[in-house]
Structure formats: structure tokens, C-alpha cells
Structure 1
């Protein structure tokens, strides 16, 4: 289960966090909210905790910042404003408290995954992406109707609950935010949902990723002039009207619609009746009622489709006339029998189908430890791909984060058993705070110190994406793979260990590779 804030990294402008007032597991805030588990920190240095309302006995999310006072004013004001808007696609805000040494907001806990994590498994199909876009636009329409701005729409703040509900959380505004930037952010969310790439040149809007965390969300494809590739150029099968709408929202030269108009337009798109991806308790539907006027925005794409269909019909008519003429000239020739003659025309296909993304099987794994003395830590590598996150491989405990100054690092080498197109690698760790990177190579050295040194030396020449530095989450996702390259061997290389209270140690619980 994830919440907004998971895997998000603080940017360089984030002020240092004070330790006075730091929360503890089991602590009860305001004599009501018990802290159960620290989930992560978001980009503003706020702590995200899973908690329990001991009065109402319901799960809650506690977003905390310390110290409180003036430094937490914006967070508390945004929470108070958000609490005034009730909408099925907005995370409910229950409480906002300033205790001077710390301040915290208590909001709805959403059992599910962020859009960021969901798309890490592969882009959404067209209708699900449209459904997500409609839900977010509907939530923004409710916010904007009060004159307020959300100011924090990105894949990390869009949650998909286990029951299919789409929830926008964590409003955070400043003077640079406007209702227009909120609406344009929906274009970014649509682009990301459809392609798995972030369309902005900067890191995803405040809170998604920054610095080394950008490895978790792939940058968009651009040409030599930096022009953004349209979704249809990145992925086959995206309808023209949705492609046009997404690109218009991202184009600062095109005036965006208001959030309520955008929500209505997305609601008109015809989602298959059997697709119950979204909770239908929201105020807007996805399938148009019989007799409804076609969408003005969809009509633009619809005209393009209609012209294309008209062109195909014209070609078919000409072909039919030629065929009739030919038959008239060859009545006695059995070779021209339209029933007996096989068709030589190939089906029209605009783009080749997108290869299906799936979990790739890891055939072998071993621990790479070139600076070892007794090889005591090279056991249990098979546990990193056994499907059980409760068991994994772990380092020993060291006195300092740099392996006590004794090693350059340690890693897990995996063999996919053959060459594959790889989309992403997800590594689940036992403890947040580790620094690591993903490497690749083409050699498989022997399982000894010399072989480990050979592998490390060769693989350090080929990094995948950007490294994670003191990552504040327990999941690292690497997406920087070359779509035109095949991969077989990968090396997850750990350079800094997190503290476990008694020293420095980390466990690799599970490694998942996705590709085709």
C-alpha cells in the first residue's frame, strides 16, 4: 500500500529538517491519532505516516512537518482550504494542528497505489488513462468552483485505490499557482498515463521527483530541437482526439479550457460498458447517453478520423469499380472468379502493435563482493527473486554507512537467461536511506573475488538511469533503458548503507524486472 510521498525525493532547496519534535511509532497525537508506520518524506521535507484515529477506529494518513509555526503556515492553510471541498475524487482532510515544535495534517488514508507507481508497471490503456484524467479534472473543478487552487497535481499525488477510485491528494499552493496551471497539469498526467514518460523539462511538479529521484520517472522523448513527441509517436493505439487534447493542454500557446469544461469533455468519451475501472459514485459519467451531442474537443479528432474513413471508402469504391470492369472482360476465365481468387490485400495498420510488457523471469542471481575477506555475505542471492518480499538477501552490519570504509560497495547480479527488451527494474529494500545504482554489462565472471572484480569493472561503464542517493523510500525503480538495446545481465550496486539503529545494514527483499 502506498501513499502520496512514497519514493519522492527532497530537492536541493528543501530546508534542513530539525530533529526536535520528531515523531515516534506508537505516539498518539492530539490524544487521538496513533502513529503506526513512517511511509516516507515528500519533496517539501514533510513526513508521511500511516496512523489510526483511535476514537473512530479508522486508518488515517498523517502529513507532518517540524518545526511548526511560520514554517508550516502554507501547509496548514492549504489543508484548511481543502477540507472545505468534499468530492469523491479528493482525499478528505480531517484535521490540521499546529503544536509549534511540529505541525501536522490528518487526512484520508487511501489503500492503493499512486499513479506514479502504477504506470511503472506499464502505461495505462486509453480508457483507463481517460478515466484517470476525468477524475482529476472533476476534482479540480470542485476545487476551482470555490475560487481555490490545488497546485500539486502530478503522478505522485494521484492515487488509485484498490477498489478503483481515483483520488487527488496533498494540495499545496503558492503565489506561482493558478487554476490554469492546475488544468495544464492534467495534460501532464494524461501524457504520463498514456506513455509512462513525464512531458515537462523540469522534474515532475513539486513532490514527484527531483535530482537523483528522476530515475523513477522517465523523461519524455524529444527531437533534436527539444520538441516533445506526441503520445501517438511514443505508443501505438492512442486515439487522435485524445492525442490532440493532451498536446493542447501541454502547449502554452493554446489557451486551456476551464477545469469543469475539461471534465465534461473527458466525461463524454465512450468508455466500454464492461470497464468498471473507476468507482461510478463520482458526479460525472464516462459514456455519453444516446442522443447526446458529440464532444467539441473529441469532434476535432473525430473529423480527422472521418476524413480518413472517407478516404478509405473512396479507395474501396474505386477498387470495386475496377474489379467489376475486370470481371466483365473475363467472364470465361475461371482465374478471375471472385470467390476462388484469394485476397492479396493486407489489412491496413497505422502502427505496429506495442509489445506486451510483462514480468521477466530471473534465471540466476549472485552477490558481487569484490572487496570481501571471507565471502560470508554472498549467500541467499536466490531469495531476491523468489516472489517473497518477507525474505531476501542482507548485508552484515557495518559501523559506518560506507561499509565501514572496508568496501567500495556490494551488489546483486542477475541473469535474465537470455536477451530481452527491458522497461524497468524495481528493487524492494528492507530499510530506506540507501544509495545505489543499476549497472549492466555483457560478461559473466566466475563467482569469486577475481570474478566479482571483473564484473564490477566492466559494468561500471554502463549505468542505467541515475543513481539514488540516500533514497528516502524502500522501493527504487530504474527506467532509463534503451528501447533499441537488449539486456541479459544487470547489477544492482549498493554504495551507501542506511542506519538500522544498531549500525548500518540493508536487505534486498525482491527484484522485479519488466520488459518484453
Structure 2
């Protein structure tokens, strides 16, 4: 029978609004005329290949009573159609929320812990979800988390896994990753782009977005890592994930006491923070799946309906109208925003563009005059300059008269972060090979590290206090702002903050081999190459240093 608005199913569910048409099923908003409330209704033809599996999944999932699931209220076949009735919730699905950007870490931890606790209760009943994607997680208007489609979503899409519990745990990990960086592990998911990879391995959240706390990064890695880094123990069940998220430093113990009067939290009004933001203006997504305009206002009570009692006859009990609604429970409020990094002082020293242009013009004029008079003398002393790309590349071949200073080591310097900015690759900046490079992690929002830090860079150890006249840094193409800083001449170790170094030269919009020169004699053991703005790399931003040459 054709399903259209106005049709009455089982003598009580009046079909109202079409929400979506997917996987061979149509989702509708309907009105339960017995209890006078909205419900979500999935209908598919009885002859559809997956109709029997969907009906079976709906009946099995009804035994799970955790309030964080949008529970199945009814499931049956009527004439040529199979239908599943679920609770209705006005709110916004996670995929629409993440379209406005990643969540702040504390919100991400709280939301995913709610999902993990719900799945833990379902697993104890032997029921699995198997299709944990953002569109199946709803944040209601009063701040509760609701999971849609326990067992039924997988049946509707024909999803099966040999280890169902492991797949659900990986689904929880993918949700956490998406909440932290607004990217989806393993490929795109709806409008979420795929998580970036490097050398065939997915980047950790901390490598993708600044400000992700190390404990949350570790939880993601312990779920999704193949294998987890640093020989960490794999999280193999939902209960273990709940415990890990409860001890990540962002759990409930770290939150201020909730105001019992303030049970309504609108995610769309949360102010922006450097670690992630929420934005408004998006249509809410309901339990049915697609976006639609809510007609119940901003204050919506989620009414929990009765659990179907298969032993009592299912449809016959429904027709008798014996089911009574249960009072709604008060959901926990959404945790407040929290700053995820220390307030970092911004540097104020910049070369004025007009001065830079004047210096460049004078240098070009002087060079042209030198060539006109008799050529440029590159000097008859110092070490010979090897041809590019042969293992001893010098991006400053005009400085042959200056003695090249060997650099003993290079170390990534990221005092306002915690992941070291690819410290294991820092040596590539001093290996004499311009075909290799140290790179920063990728930043998706802006050239200034998403506003999370004033800069980062590399610390060079010259082995002993040494006279330095010039440093040449090859930063690639695209425009990089950088500074040359030096440690005090008596420093026994490099300072741990950028303020411990003295700025001796600055270049704005650098490209290729960039010369940095102190105005006065400089004697130091430690140098800092400090990047304050990085160039675009495709649609994102990433800095690089392929070679550094120090001369004295």
C-alpha cells in the first residue's frame, strides 16, 4: 500500500511529514493519536530483502531500556509494509553540529562518554549498534544525548561484522575523533572530510588540530591505532572506553556543579573558543534522521514511551491502548566551555613592509651595479659550495667567504603545545639535503596556528658558544613569517620559553632560502628559528624548513 500523509497505521499512528528516503525505507514524522505525541516512523515494503532483518532487530533492541537510546516503541507488519516506531526527539544531530566546527575537548569527552555508556548497557544485553555515525547521534534541545537506530540501522543498511563489540568500540573512537577535529577516520562521512594520513597512517587528533588534550588524543589512539603508539593497551570494550574518558582530566569531577535550574543547554549558543566552536543558524535534526523545522519551540520535553512487551502480544496490547507514558528524566546539562591552552603573549616586533621593500630595492640596485662594474666577487676563501641536491645543500651560496658552523642537533620547540610538532623529523632541517624537510603539523583554520599559540620552531645546538654572522633558512614557498632568536651566551641549556631567547632578526612573508642576520656581533650556543605565521598548503596551513645553514 502506498504510504502518504494522513494514512493511519495500526489504528493509532497518523503519518504526517516525510523526513527522508534512504536504504529502501522512508522515514516519517507521525502522531500517536492514543498518547497525542510525535513519533518517528520507518516504513519499508514487506517484500524488501532486509524487511525481516529490520523487524527482528527492532524487536531485539526493545529490551534495552537505557534512556540515551531513542527506543523502539512498536514494530510490526501491516498489509504490504513493515514499520518501526521510535521515540521522537527535537534537537540537532552531531553531523550538523560538526558542520560548524569541532567541539571543545570537554564537550567532546562528555558527549562521547554518554554514547559509550549507552553502548555498554546495550552490550550487556547482547545488542549492538554497528553503525555509529554522526547522523545517528542527537543532542536534544534540553542538552541530552540520544543514540538513534540501535541494531536497526545496521539491519537496514545490511551491515554485519564478525566482532560486533569491537566494531561498536571503533565507532565510539571515530565519533571522538570527529568531535575533536571535525574529520572522519577512514574516509569521508556525509559532509565530514576524511581524516588526514601521513605515510599510510592516520594522523592523531593532536597532529590535526591544536589544543587537543593529550589524554583524549591517547584515547583515540588506543581505540583506532593499529597498533596504538608507545605500546599502549588497546581499548576493546565500551566499559573500558567509559573508564578512560572518566579519567582523562576532563570528566565530571573537573566540571563545576550543575545548576539544577539550568537543565536546558543550547549548543548553538555556545561561544567560540580556540579549541573548537559551535555555530547557530542550522536546522535541527530529529530522531527521524533528516533536518526539519521544529514545531515544538526551543523548550522540548522528551517523553519516554512504553517498552513493547512481546510476551503480552505486541500489536494486541497496542490496540487495547494499555500502554502508559513514563515521566521524562532530566538530562544532564552540556558541560561548559573550557580554555584548552594557556594564554600566550603575542609578539609585537614586526618588520614594517615599506622598510622591507626599501631594503630589497637597495640590495637589488647594489647587486646590479656590482655586476655592471665587474662582476660579483664571491670570495676566494672558505669552504667550497657543493651543487644543489647532492647531500650538502647550502641555500646561501653567496656567503662562501663566511665559515660554515656545524649544527650539532635540532629539536622542535613548541612551548604552547604538547606534541612536539614532529620532533622526530627535526634533524631533516640540518641533514644537508634540501629534498627532505621538517614540517609542522597541519592547521586547518588559519596561518597563525588556529590562534592557539604565538609561534613554534626549531632550537639549534651549536655544541659550544660560537660567533654567528648569518643564518639561512629554506622555508619553501608560500610566505612564512619567522624570527632568528639567540640564547644568552652563558646559557648551559636552551631556554624553555621563547621569551628566554633574544630576537636578533625578523623576516615577514619569507619564501625559499631566507637570510637572517644579527645587526651586531653574536656569540651563542643555542639559536631559535621561530615561526609566527605559516603558509597555505592546499586548503590547510603547514610550515616547513628543508635546510638551515649557520655561518660565523
TM-score normalised by structure 1 residue count: 0.48
Bigger radius of gyration: 2
